Amino acid sequence: MKTKNKIYAFEPFPENVEFLKHNIEQNNCHNIILVDCVAISDKNGTEKLYISEISGGQLLFDHNIKGQLNRYIEVPSKTLERIIDENVLNQIDFLKMDCEGSEGQILKAAPIGCLERIKKIAMEFHDNVSLLNHDKIVNLLENCGFQCRLKWDGESPFGYLFARRD
The CA distances from residue 93 to 5, 107, 143, in Å, are 9, 17, 19
Domains of the chain: residue spans and CATH: 7-164 (3.40.50.150)
The C-alpha angle 116, 99, 40, rounded to 5 degrees, equals: 60
pLDDT in tens, the chain (166 residues): 577 899 999 999 999 999 999 999 999 999 999 999 999 999 999 999 999 877 677 889 887 777 788 999 999 999 999 999 999 999 999 999 999 999 999 999 999 999 999 999 999 999 988 999 999 999 999 999 999 999 999 999 999 999 999 8
pTM of the model: 0.92
